[in-house]
Structure 1
Amino acid sequence: MVDGFRFQNSRCQCHFLSHSHADHTTGLTKNFTGGLIYCSPVTAVLLRKDMGMPPERVVPLQLESPISIDGVTVTLIDANHCPGAVMFLFQIPARQGSPAQLILHTGDLRWHSGMAEHPALKGKPLDVLYLDTTYALPKHVHPPQDVAIAQIIDVMQKSYKEEPRTLFVVGAYHIGKERAFLGAAKALQWPVWVAPEKLRVLGMLDLPASDMALLTTREADARIHVVFMGQGLQPDALEKRMNSSGDWARVVAFRPTGWSYRKHGLETRRQGPVTIYGVPYSEHSSFPELRDCVKRLRPKRLIPTVNASNPTASRRVEDRFADLMDLSGDRSRLDMYFAAAQQSPTAADCGHACDLGSPDLELRSTKRRCLGHANSTLNHLEPPPAVQGGWKGPPNSLPVQERCAPIPNGLVPASPEWDQKPGSTGMEYPGLVLDPASLGTIHGVAGSQQQTTQSPPL
C-alpha cells in the first residue's frame, strides 16, 4: 500500500511512504503496528526523529537500488518534490495466469524531462501510472523552479537597492520550500533566520553543509526570515515581526506556491510597510510538465491521485492525457476516442485538434475553428519540457511546434478545481495496494475511509 495509512487492514504488512507531508501520513502515528514502512533514508529519519515512530517499523531503502519485497521488485526514484520524496516503481512478475506488470506511483511529483532518461524508466512501457495531478488543468503553467527563484532574487535585489533596511520574509512548510529561501540566500549570500524547531528539522534533511551554514536562530543577524505559510505571512504578523526583530523600515514577503501563478507579473498585496508577493514556485508539476511526463512514459493506464474523488472525476482528469497514452491494448476505448475526434466539427475544420499546452485553451465542438492556435497557420502549442539547467526562453513562454493530436468530441473535460490553503493538495487518492496475483488496487479519498476496490495485500 502506498501512502494509505488511514486504511486499517490487518492483512497488509507492507506499506510504502512516498514522503512525509501530512496529507500522505494521515492515520500514521507513533503507535502504528500495521507492519513495515518502506521509504527513502531522509523520510526514515523524519519518521523516527520527527514523528517518533519505532525504528523497527521503518525500513529505509536506497534510491536507484532495486530490491525484492515479497516477490515484487521495487525501485525508488527521486520525485523532485520535497526532501526525501520518491516515486515507487513496482515490477510485478507474472503469476497465476496474470501477466507481468510495471507500475509507477509518483507520490507528489515535480516532473522534468530528464526523469524519462532514468535507466529504470527509459524504454520500459508502463502498464499503470499513478500520477500526481494537483495541477491538471491547462491554465496551470507555472514556470520551472529556477525561474521562480530568480524572480524572488530579482525582487530582493531591487528592494534592497531602494531601501537597505528591508526585511525579507519567505513562507515555507514544516518540510518543503527549502529551495526557495536557500536558493535566494545562496545567490545573495545573506544569512537566513529560522526558528529553533525549524533548524532541528532542516538538520534531518541531509542538506549540504554550505546550506546549513547560512542558517541562524538569531533574528537580528539575518536579512531573510523563514516563517510558516499561513498566519506567518499575514500583513499584521509581518509588520509585528518587522518592528520586533531589528531596525527595519519595511518588509517584503514571498508566498511561494503554484496557486500564485499569474500570466503577467507577480501577485502583489500591500498594506502599510508590508508588501507580499505571490511567487509561482511549485513543488508539483505544471500541466505542461504532466503532459510531458505522460508523453514520455506512455502508460497504458493512468490513475490520477489528486482531484479524482470518484470514477467520473478521475476519468475527466485522465482524458486530458489520453492522446499521449498507449491505448493500443484497449480497443474499445481507442475506437471510441478516435471516432469522437473524427466526428468533431473542430477536427473536421482543420483535420486535428491542438495539444493542451495553452493556459487559455478551450475547445468546443460547436466552434468552427480551433481556439488556442498559436497563429493562423494552425501551428500548435507544445508544452515546453522542464529543463534542469534553466528556462530556455522568456518566463511563461510556450514554444510553437507542429504537434497535433485528436481529442474527444465536445468540451475538453474539466474536473473540480480545489484551490486550498497552502499545503493542501486537495482531493487525493494516496492509497495503492498491489497484489502479485490479482494486481488489484485499493484507493481512498484523502480525509475519508472510502474504498473502491478490495484486494489482498502485498
Structure 2
Amino acid sequence: MVFNFDGCIREVPGISVDCFTKHKFDECSTFFLSHCHSDHMTGLFDGFLSNFQSNKKLKLFCTVVSEIILRNMASIDGIDATAVLDQTVTKMMFDQEYDLDIDGFQVKVTAIKAKHCTGSCMFLFKTECSNVLYTGDFRHLPHQLKFISALRGFRKKNIPLDTIYVDTTFLLGSTKNSLPTINKTIRCIIREIKKFSRKYPKGIVLIIRPANLGSELMIRELARVFNTKIHVEDKLCELYKDIDYVRPFLTNDPSETFIHFCKQGDISAKDSETCEIHPTALSFASNDARKVQEEVDRMVMSATLRNT
C-alpha cells in the first residue's frame, strides 16, 4: 500500500511522527521526531510553543543528539523554547526499548540508528497486534541490516515486520543504480581536492553545503585527510557546538584553512584559484540522470576550476 504520509502510524493511535502541523495538536499529544531536517519538523516549534500552555500532556520523543540540535536551533533563531523542551522531551538512547502508555494504548518503541544525519533514527513500534517500522530518511546498505540488533529477536532471528513506513524521496526510476554511496562520494571529493591542490598549492576549495545537517562524515574525513579544520559559518559552529564528534573539526575563521564548507555565496575568493564542489543528490533525480551518471563515473560531483 502506498500513500502520502501525514504523520499517522495507523497501527498506533494518538501519535504523530515527523509531522507537527496545526491540526495534529487537536488529534495527538505524543509526537516523534526522527531527525532535525526542516522537511521533517515543519511546525514543530510553533506547534509546541503555542499548544503547550493549553495542553500540558504534550510529549516529544527524539534521540539525545536531536534534542541537543533542537535546543541549538531554537537559540540560533532567537526562540525561547528551553522551558517547553525541558518539560516535553524524552531523550531516547539508540536500541533501548521504551514502554509507553498513550491514552491507554500500550506500545514499545525503539530508536534505531538511521545513518542519515547526526541524531537521525528510525522508529520501531511494537504492539500486541503488530510490529511497525518507520524509517524516515536512512542510509543503511543491504548488508548492514543484519547488524541492527533491534530488528533481531530470540536466537538472532529477524523480527517479523507487519508494516513498514518507508521514506521514498529518491525511489525514482531516474535514480535506479545511479546514486553513489556516501563513502564513494567522499573518496572522489578527496581525489579531486588532491588533484587541484597539486596544481594550485595556494588555491582554496569551496564545498557548497547542501544542508546544515548530514555531512558530518565528510567534514571529519576531509579534516583528517588534509590535516586541517573545515571552515563553516558562525551559525553552523553554534549548531554543532555541543556535538563532540563534529565541533572540534570546525572553525569559523576562514583564514585558518583552505577548505570552506558553506552555503552558496557565503564565501568570496576573488584573488585565489578555486575548486568549487557541489555535492548533491538532486542531480541524480533529474530527468537527465544518465548523463549525470556518466559525469559521476569520472568524478562523482560537479567540480569546476576557475581563475578569478
TM-score category of the 2 structures, normalised to the smaller one = 0.7 to 0.9
How many equivalent residue pairs?
A: 253
Map residues 37-436 of structure 1 onto 2, 5 A cutoff. 37-51=60-74, 52-53=80-81, 54=84, 55-70=86-101, 71-93=106-128, 100-113=129-142, 114-122=144-152, 123-140=158-175, 141-172=178-209, 173-204=211-242, 206-208=243-245, 211-228=246-263, 231-232=264-265, 241-243=268-270, 248-261=271-284, 262-264=292-294, 265-266=298-299, 268=302, 270=304, 272-273=306-307
Preserved contact between residue 34 and residue 123 of structure 2 (Cα < 8 Å): yes
Letter in 1 for 2:69: L
Question: Which residue number corresponds to residue 28 of structure 1?
Answer: 44
CA distance in 2, matches of 1:207, 1:83: 11
Preserved contact between residue 104 and residue 126 of structure 1 (Cα < 8 Å): yes
Select the structure of larger CA radius of gyration: 1
Question: Which residue number corresponds to residue 354 of structure 1?
Answer: none
What SS class does the counterpart of residue 158 from structure 1 fall into?
helix
Give the strand-richer structure, 1 or 2: 2
Deviations 1:177-235 (A, max 9, x none): 2222332221121221122221111123x332xx533322221111111112xx33xxx
Q: CA deviation at 1:270?
A: 4.5
TM norm structure 1:
0.52
Preserved contact between residue 180 and residue 256 of structure 1 (Cα < 8 Å): no
Letter in 1 for 2:228: W
Q: CA deviation at 1:137?
A: 2.1
What SS class does the counterpart of residue 151 from structure 2 fall into?
coil
Amino-acid identity (%): 26
Give the helix-richer structure, 1 or 2: 2
Deviations 1:32-66 (A, max 9, x none): 42611100011111223322432212211111100
Unaligned 5+ segments in structure 1 are 94-99, 275-458
CA shift in 2, pair 1:218/1:49, >3 Å = closer
Q: CA deviation at 1:106?
A: 0.6
Deviations 1:424-447 (A, max 9, x none): xxxxxxxxxxxxxxxxxxxxxxxx
CA shift in 2, pair 1:144/1:271, >3 Å = closer
Deviations 1:111-131 (A, max 9, x none): 223133322213111111111
Map residues 5-16 of structure 1 onto 2, 5 A cutoff. 5-6=20-21, 7-16=23-32
Unaligned 5+ segments in structure 2 are 1-15, 75-79, 153-157, 285-291
Preserved contact between residue 229 and residue 249 of structure 2 (Cα < 8 Å): yes
Letter in 2 for 1:5: F
